[in-house]
Amino acid sequence: MTLRFLPWAAVCAMTLAACGDSADSTAEGGAAAADTAATAAAVPAAGDAMDPARDAAEAPKGPLTTMTFASYEHDFGTIKEGESVTHVFTFTNTGSEPLLIQQCKGSCGCTVPQCPTQPIPPGGKGSIEVKFNSAGKKNAQTKQVTIDANTDPFQTKLTIKANVLPADGAK
């Protein structure tokens, strides 16, 4: 019986101890308010959501350029589960330096981009082929392709969408 009581006693003791710390901080000339303000400044605002890919990305080295896509999003519409579909995104190097694409990466293994490996001269055009394999996917699907290049901003995101109908006999 005492073993069942022990965890509850520990929780109650920690709760009371935590309440005591809070009261002491407030009594010390508003230190709790200062701590709260410092914490609020360190936490990003709702619109500044944490983006691990952006945070881990290296800043481009060398001269920067810009690229502009004809479209940043493509909707495949309704497809059947198991179908593979492809879309080609076209872009133009609208800057004054050669465009160097360092990496193209899909948001999951079902989304595979093919990016140019050669520099695109200023004013030159290029394309990125994106294949989406709907095997094992159902309903509304939204996937992204992240492109790292010597551009400002460093990363460009393309989006593909599809409504995947379950295969016959699947639930």
Per-10-residue mean pLDDT, the chain, length 171: 46 38 38 40 45 58 90 98 97 96 95 97 98 96 97 95 86 56
Q: What is the pLDDT of residue 70?
A: 96
Q: What is the pLDDT of residue 37?
A: 40
Can you state the angle between helices 31-42 and 2-27, rounded to 10 degrees? 100
Q: What is the pLDDT of residue 92?
A: 98
38 burial (CB, 10 Å; 0-12 / 13-18 / 19+) is exposed
Q: What is the pLDDT of residue 8?
A: 43
3-class DSSP state for residue 132?
strand
How far, in Å, CA of 145 to CA of 89, rounded?
Answer: 11
Going from the C-alpha of 112 to that of each of 58, 95, 160, the distances in angstroms are 22, 27, 11
How far, in Å, CA of 152 to CA of 10, rounded?
Answer: 54
pTM of the model: 0.65
